[in-house]
A and B are shown apart, each in its own frame.
Chain A
Amino acid sequence: MTSTEVTLTTDGRSIAEMMGLSKGSSGKRSMLARFSQIHSPLKGDMEINGKAVRVDVVPAGAYKLLQSDDKVAYAVSPKIRIYAQRMQWTRWDSNENTMIKTVLVNNLTGDLKDNTGGFNAGRPSGYVEDFKSLPKATQELMRNTKRTKVVFGTVVMQGATDEQGNAIDDASLTTQEIPFVLDVKSRGSITAVDDIMKSIDRKNVLPLQYFLNMGAEMHSMPNGSEYATFDITLGDKVDLVEADKDILDGFMEWISGMNNYINDTHNEKSGSSGLSATEESIINDIIDVEVAE
């Protein structure tokens, strides 16, 4: 058994702080680092024989870790551990420039409240027997509504570079684990995650007891452009430590906070009570007072 111990980097913040949700003027803002895969290479200038040549400095399929607006790193083969997964419907609303999202759940059956005051990000509920019989607009909406797997884990950005392809000399990023949230929308990547989870399950251990080596598989589209999906292989086994509970606790809090936020937004926008669930509860507490005559 291989046991690899990698410490968690908290960047001077508590785990709760780095994984929390803060309320800003434009809504709830996640403090959790966002992990994703890029589908197009990042270009940069490189001098070859005295000439500036435009080359790929970060290849397509590499992974991006966005810790804050000014802290972005890329790695071709980072390693991750998965603590939890949820599902949600998501759809980009190009008119409003916002992402429509439902609550995070374990299964997409049933009607899920979304942040527009509707359900399922506008997607019709239930099984659609004959997709082609639907109106074109509904078909389009269903195509644009993505079945999204939301993965919560930690990542070690080994061999990290910046967007210019320059190596980042920061051990807290390249050797330590950073909690992240990852939205997986492509079918191939969802299958890759499901398959690796099954293979870990067959070993009678928890998913977070294995590092997963993240790679990329490139696919061509009919129009000639390419897109990437995950290629995941099993890495080293890890012993469970006390800090794992704190990290998982942080993820559970994050999920609960996000669901409360989406539920509150749903209630506000649907006008069901005109109040958010939290406000309603406060008002109910206040008016539940008996006054003696």
Chain B
Amino acid sequence: MNHVAELALHTFLQKALAGESTVDESVISKVGEDVADAVRKQFSSGPRDEFKLRMSNLGRPKCQLWYEKNDPEDKIPFPPHFLMNMILGDIVEAVFKGLLRAAAVEFTDNEKVVLTLSDGTEINGEFDMILDDKVDDVKSASPWSYMHKFSDFETLAKGDAFGYVSQLVGYATAANKGVGGWWVINKANGHFKYVDASSVDVDQELNKIEDTVAYIKEDKPFERCFEAIPETYRKKPSGNLKLGVSCGFCAYKHKCWPDLQTLPSRVSTAKEKPMVDYVFIGDELGSTEA
């Protein structure tokens, strides 16, 4: 357990299951208002492709941000279900905050903040909540992400393709509060946990942010941040090269890797083979047709 509010929530839910606790009408109304606001926001905020550095994207790889600014036409477009996913995330956040309120956990609700960098650049964002004088973010996660990505801070920081660490440090610095962590809710089964990020090196993260912003603002030449990685099977290289996790989620992966082929794993023996982004096929297994 990583936060006392986790225990408060467990206790509340356990009592609710036993019929010993209820949710106040004002809390129910607030959940409803938050969901309505989220639907309004998702459908009334104009086109999503307009590039701007925001707290939610400044932790992303610099190469990805470079493409977003300079080559928006080549971006893989968002699928329609992306919007559904966003709304589900907002609903989960609204309900989660409602349950915290019902469990008598006191927090400051989301607020817009501005991070001012050393060169005067201002980055806008909106944190989710302040709890115990620290900024926390609420994330709804897939079962895989809940288990493997949000297992703990160290694991998340090592493979932070979406820049969640920079985002949280940005919010906390802008709000002049401590860095808290993430409340993570598994979208598939309702499990929740707190991932404590208080061990983050704030100065190092802020330097990274400054560096990224300077790179994008000064229109420096494009530099790919990642190389392809050798595919291995039972610790032995297969001869193939594939994209790593950060590139796998990138909307410009085809632009960056013209030879990219997304194929069922060529080494997996599973019945349902996972899809792999290959950039070089060096094994001798024959056809590369999907």
Hey, which bits of chain A sit against chain B, CB under 8 A?
83-84, 103, 105-110, 206-208, 240, 244-245, 248-249, 252, 256, 259
CA distance A245 to B3 in the complex (A): 9
**Known interface pairs A206-B1, A248-B4. Does A107 touch B154 (Cβ–Cβ under 8 Å)?**
yes
Q: Told that A108-B154, A110-B157 touch, could you supply 7 new A-B pairs with CB distance under 8 A?
A: A83-B1, A103-B199, A109-B154, A206-B10, A208-B7, A240-B7, A245-B11
Q: Which residues of A contact B8 (CB under 8 A)?
A: 245
* Among all A-B residue pairs, the 4 with the closest Cβ atoms: A106-B152, A107-B152, A107-B154, A249-B4
Contact B198 A105 (CB under 8 A): no
CB of B202 to closest CB in A, whole Å? 9
Contact A110 B154 (CB under 8 A): yes
Cβ-based interface call for B42 (8 A): no
Cβ-based interface call for B155 (8 A): yes
Q: Which residues of B contact A207 (CB under 8 A)?
A: 1
Contact B4 A105 (CB under 8 A): no
**Known interface pairs A110-B154, A206-B1, A240-B14. Does A105 touch B7 (Cβ–Cβ under 8 Å)?**
no
A105, A208, A256: the one within 8 Å of B152 (CB): A105
CA distance A256 to B180 in the complex (A): 11
Interface majority SS on B: helix, strand, loop or mixed?
A: helix
CA distance A109 to B157 in the complex (A): 10
Contact A240 B10 (CB under 8 A): yes
Q: Can you offer 21 A-B residue contacts whose CB atoms are under 8 A?
A: A83-B1, A84-B1, A84-B2, A103-B199, A105-B152, A106-B2, A106-B151, A106-B153, A106-B196, A107-B151, A107-B153, A109-B158, A110-B157, A240-B7, A240-B10, A240-B11, A248-B1, A248-B4, A252-B2, A252-B3, A259-B198
Contact A245 B155 (CB under 8 A): no
Interface majority SS on A: helix, strand, loop or mixed?
A: mixed
Classify chain B's interface size. Answer: 10 to 19
Contact B154 A105 (CB under 8 A): yes
Contact B7 A248 (CB under 8 A): yes
Contact A252 B154 (CB under 8 A): no
Residues of B1-21 at the interface with A, using a CB-CB cut-off of 8 Å, are: 1-4, 7-8, 10-11, 14
* Shortest Cβ distance from A207 into B: residue: B1
**Known interface pairs A240-B14, A256-B198. Does A206 touch B151 (Cβ–Cβ under 8 Å)?**
no
CA distance A166 to B150 in the complex (A): 49
Contact A105 B10 (CB under 8 A): no
* Shortest Cβ distance from B235 into A: residue: A129
Residues of B135-186 at the interface with A, using a CB-CB cut-off of 8 Å, are: 151-155, 157-158
B7, B198, B199: the one within 8 Å of A206 (CB): B7
Complex interface bits, B195-209 against A, C-beta within 8 A gives 1, otherwise 0: 010110000000000
Q: Which residues of B contact A105 (CB under 8 A)?
A: 152-154, 199
CA distance A208 to B1 in the complex (A): 10
CB of A21 to closest CB in B, whole Å? 16
Q: Which residues of B contact A248 (CB under 8 A)?
A: 1, 4, 7
Q: Which residues of B contact A107 (CB under 8 A)?
A: 151-155
Q: Which residues of A contact B1 (CB under 8 A)?
A: 83-84, 206-208, 248
Residues of B188-227 at the interface with A, using a CB-CB cut-off of 8 Å, are: 196, 198-199
* Shortest Cβ distance from A280 into B: residue: B203
Q: Which residues of B contact A249 (CB under 8 A)?
A: 4
CA distance A65 to B269 in the complex (A): 52
Contact B198 A106 (CB under 8 A): no
CA distance A97 to B37 in the complex (A): 60
CB of B161 to closest CB in A, whole Å? 17
Contact A245 B198 (CB under 8 A): no
